[in-house]
Amino acid sequence: MHQPPLETHQPERCRPMTSTVSEIEEVIDSERTTLLNGLSSLEPVRRRVSGKSPADGGSRRICRQPSLGRDIGHAAKETYLVTRLSFKLLRYLGVGYRWIMKLLALACYAMLLMPGFLQVAYMYFFSSQVRRSVVYGDQPRNRLDLYLPSNNDGMKPVVVFVTGGAWIIGYKAWGSLLGMQLAERDIIVACVDYRNFPQGTISDMVTDASQGISFVCNNISAFGGDPNRIYLMGQSAGAHIAACALLEQATKESKGESISWRVSQIKAYFGLSGGYNLYNLVDHFHNRGLYRSIFLSIMEGEESFDKFSPEVRLKDPIVGKAASMLPPIMLFHGSSDYSIPCDASKTFADALQAVGAKVELILYNGKTHTDLFLQDPLRGGKDELFDDIVSVIHADDDEALAKDSLAPPRKRLVPELLLKLAREVSPF
């Protein structure tokens, strides 16, 4: 059900980059991240790509020649990293009865959805429209994936996406399905990776996300993105991290501190199935298996709850005043979400409205935590959440809206029976 959105105003946007460039180096790194002790050994391999500057009449876009050997190497590297993430999760959550059952349920869930996962994985590793592991910072995991539309006619709107993963197993590739499907609608997607616990704690995650956003704001024109049409989105833990980064940036900006990107560069924030008040989540997560001791370690102790709870921070007069700088905010949540109950988005929306921010809350009746992000996109066809996001991004583009109305139904990736079974066994 839609709440009527508050009146919005168009903030001043950043200007496209106009500096002349003759060459752009693309860094394809071969990282071997040591996840258990937080150290990383990086072996970058540089490849130079020529490009004309806008002053020369050319398009400042990074292109890459296909290479089977490089793509296979990327596939092996990503598989290695996902495997290490899984073992790290086991190490910190233990192997008690509760987690053995959850892991068995997760294995069944993944197997049921495997027909779709394999198709997405193939596209992720071998599609020329995916630019994997673009470096945005000097810390481990400071990489992002770019999903580019197939056509190059004009500058494209951009979504910066921060993935979920309980602050422990988040990974940029988790946004690949969303990235590919939005790219089909002429939208560039940048999936930002960030340090997870125990490689980093919440302050590191927020710092990484903010640096990734900064990279996109300042460099996306080189990939064909429109720096005046950038949207920020996060899912689950990623929604929390992105909201923290956005509110922190607004606070710094209001104080006149040095910044590398401006809140006014973000046209809207999309929060999907997020939690924004740590005080309300700690016991809930403990009862679901993310034990209090681990959660407190991730969030740097209960004394940091105020700082990393966007809903609570809005009560601070200084932060509340800075909230007037925030872009329009849209919060999406399933009414049957048990991982993070939809009340988390409801109370955050109330807090935002209380300080005069522009906010809209959209609840999807009967949808769970994974329905909106996994099962529905894998089902193909019409998808309410997808349509809502695209309609906002293309709201001021009549030509794009006309194309959307003629777009063919999205391809089904998993049979309906397997989707229903997966929903029943989902541990989320």
Q: Which residues are catalytic?
A: 236, 337, 369
Sheet holding 156-162, edge to edge: 130-135, 143-147, 188-192, 156-162, 225-235, 266-272, 329-334, 359-364
DSSP state string for 55-117: GGT----------HHHHHHHHHHHHHHHHHHHHHHHHHH---HHHHHHHHHHHHHHHHTHHHH
Q: 286-301 burial string, b = 16+ CB within 10 Å, else e?
A: eebbbbeebbbebbee
- Do 223 and 131 touch, CB atoms closer than 8 A? yes
Peptide bond connecting 198 to the previous residue in cis, omega within 30 degrees of 0: yes
Question: Which residues fall within 8 angstroms of residue 141, CB to CB, at 6 or more apart?
Answer: 33, 40, 193, 194, 195, 196, 199, 208
